């Protein structure tokens, strides 16, 4: 059950789903590929939550299947 210390997403999102951020524990990390534009590689990002603040660090370009909605 949430909150989670680590969330690993194995599909590319167009943005970070707010529901995933809400489930991240204080001090928790989320690794997620994020689409930055059509016909471009995705950006693998590591998000960290510290209190109410969330920041991310870009790691490197990747290619994942798209995250499905619903």
Q: pLDDT for 21-69, tens place per residue?
A: 999 999 999 999 999 888 889 999 999 999 999 999 999 999 999 988 7
CATH of the domain at 11: 3.30.505
pLDDT of amino acid 52: 93
**Residue 50: CB atoms within 10 Å:** 10
**Nearest to 9, CA basis, from 44, 48, 60:** 44
| Inside any domain, residue 68 | no
pLDDT of amino acid 36: 87
| Inside any domain, residue 67 | no
Domain enclosing residue 37, as ranges: 4-62
DSSP 13-26: BSS--HHHHHTEEE
Per the structure, the count of domains in the chain is: 1
| Inside any domain, residue 28 | yes
pLDDT of amino acid 37: 84
| Inside any domain, residue 69 | no
| Inside any domain, residue 70 | no
């Amino acid at each position: 059950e949430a909150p989670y210390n680590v969330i690993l997403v194995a599909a590319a999102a167009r943005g970070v789903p707010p529901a995933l951020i809400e489930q991240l524990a204080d001090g928790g990390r989320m690794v997620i590929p994020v689409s930055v534009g059509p016909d471009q590689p995705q950006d693998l990002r590591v998000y960290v939550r510290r209190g109410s603040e969330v920041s991310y660090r870009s790691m490197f370009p990747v290619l994942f299947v798209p995250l499905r909605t619903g």
